[in-house]
Structure 1
Amino acid sequence: MIKQDNLHGRQILIKNFQKQKASQYGNLVSAFSGDKCLRCGQSKFYTLPTKVRQCMTCVELKAVFETDFLLRVPSTNFEKVTGSILTWGGRLTKEQQKISQQLVKYLKNKQDSLVHAVTGAGKTEMLFESIAFVLKEGMRVAICCPRVDVVDELFERLSIAFSKTQIGKYHGNAHPPSFNYQLIICTTHQLMKFFAAFDLIVIDEVDAFPFESSAILHYAMTQALKPLGQKILLTATPSQALLTQVKKGKLNYLLLNKRYHGYRLPVPKCHLLWQRNAIGRFVLDFRLKKILSQFIVDKKPILIFVDKIAKLPELKTKLKRFYPDLIIDTVSSVDSERHQKILRFREGKIELLLTTTILERGVTFENVQVIILDADDAIFKTSSLVQIAGRAGRKIDFPDGEVHFFYHHYTGAIKKCVSQIKRMNKWK
């Protein structure tokens, strides 16, 4: 039997026949309140032949019926810590330290914050002081990321920075034993499993899919946060909605337009295509050929982004025809070997990696050079283009990576991306 101490702050779906046994763990509430599902916050129902309503929004997650209940286990604080809790041995830059101190100040004043920092600015490290402050006060923290890959990478980094703290990692492929972790790292969907559990919730890449446009996930964040809890939102490309909240005084705004190593952001070089494809069956665009050949001579890892998963196998075959000795592979969200391939690319065992927007955020590769094919496709919004361009030049030893956009139409998204990067490079 699971101990109640391991369920603090949890929200669990309970069937009617489990009601009596579950009541000993916490508060039971009906899954539906009038015309609202309390699990997802939505009001889209289907009435079964038995006259029982079912939440249609929750169908893809786990079916919820109006006869069901939600078990909400009360959350309790941990003991306060007097000694040091941060075991990170690094140092912040002057600009990072300023934002780090401001975040702690806002937390003490019970205020929410938006950190607008360029890709590669070191947003994670700027959070350490805030996380340490909350943990030392005996309170709980959840750090939420848009994708599994980012959760895995962040878990490794935080396990070093907070080695004295037990950290829980939750996503679709990670289900640790039930435990009352004081610090958890998870995908945003996992917040649906908590209620009034956290004193601080950090949303990394708040503008990214799926969180940005999901009413369900925004509701989940609100529900998982304690009534007096705070939010820290991180992004390199804030939406207009977030900036509006700043103007209304609902969010404190902190800007860092410089990478931690002090070098400027790589500005994308734009290439208009006249032919149908940059990589044809027998012909390679002469500019792309020149760029790739130079990268190969210089032994630089190459990351090529495409708009559709279906294109990956064909492009790999075509590129192997032009570069038979080059180690080429593909990776996407449906690839069962995704994590292993990313690791091999990071280790230099793959020289050219074809991918999709799955790698647009949250990953760092040393000395990588970036190319986007069909950069004018609708899937490449301004925020995506900025994030992809931000994969280059992140390491202090290789701050001058190249970024190339190939397209048939110079879209507004491409124009805004280039303009935004140049503007960030000018600001002091």
Structure 2
Amino acid sequence: MQHFEVNYDGLVGPTHNYAGLSFGNVASLANAKASSSPKEAALQGLRKMKSLHDMGMKQGVLAPQARPDIDALRRLGFSGSEGEVLHQAATQAPAIFQAVCSASSMWTANAATVSPSADTDNGKVHFTPANLTNKFHRSLEPQTSGRILQAMFNNSRYFEHHQHLPDNEHFGDEGAANHTRLCREYGHAGVEIFVFGRHAFDSSKPAPTRYPARQTLEASQAIARLHGLDSDTTVFLQQNPAVIDQGVFHNDVIAVGNQNVLFYHQQAFADTQNKLDEIKQKFGDSPLHFIEVATDDVSVEDAVKSYLFNTQLITPPDGKMTLIAPTECQENPAVNTYLEQLVASDGPIQRVNFFDVKQSMRNGGGPACLRLRVALNDEELAAANPNCLMSEALFARLNQWVEKHYRDRLAVDELRDPALLEESRTALDELTQILKLGSVYAFQRA
């Protein structure tokens, strides 16, 4: 039996915009209110997906959310026709309006936590959508994310789907952005590492003071229970509160893992050595590589600006472990020098490939944010929705779809345009037909 890690990248939606909604995300705040290019962003993302497909990786596509979220505005008391709802919200409550227009679903690392069948007690692949309670604009996503994932992995023999955790800050869950899996091979049982920012029920424990800790220990423990994970192969690791306060809002901004490699910054974790010892003990006797980047080589500030750790760490079919990095890493002198030395060191990471994903980077997410990792064996892959897997035909079809439906430029003020809402719905309705998802959006189910 063959085993694969499939990267499902979020497809950028037709209302991609920079609203600067994410307090704690330095890049998001820095580019607030700038004009965006939905078409350029979507095409950049598709090129990255196709490039990984051409490298021999299994690559999938995950549909975006429908925005603006009219149902959310109606729940908040705005009434009348859809055009009237948009106008009222935009003029009376512009901050709320911007939130329901958020483009954040493109970062599918936050869509869910996924545990492969080799790790779970019932031998199925488990999915739990993230509740994303820390940010209002992201808390609107879980139900639609759950429906999309169920449409993509709809065979109950192989896949099990859970409801997102309770919508409360005590169980704040940010999905795979705070979850890493180490293993010998993708089909072998691995060690699942849940990184949390704070203890929800014990305020005496260390926690950040400037920026919020979005993931709680209690949420991570709940996901592990739901997925039927063995405590002997599960590690709960606290993110360094001081590094959260430097703008590291998710673990995948300061660490990334793949197979038997954990690549992380010196300041990433609390109680680092004890936790690395625990990972090593639970991993077993096979080789395990911890690659720590010293602060003297790359500062936390440079790591955040370049998204050195928000890179994808993948193993192509040729076996040469590769970092998929944003071009910002190449443009940052300290980071570029470090990466050159890393590749020359004869360690497990043998290549770095740079990609231009500036439309995503300006909104606060790099290559790792854009993808949800799903380890599947060949039977499970065959049972997944094949229409969501990248191919020459799908790449061409989605490029045509973007060219047909997306605007070249979009200013924040244009989000109130009822014509944009209709354009977006028309585009997404056609997308669900291309990907064979059924009626996953609220406007389709009304």
Provide TM-score, normalisation by structure 2: 0.22
Task: Pick the structure with greater CA Rg.
Answer: 1
The answer to which structure has the higher helix fraction is 2
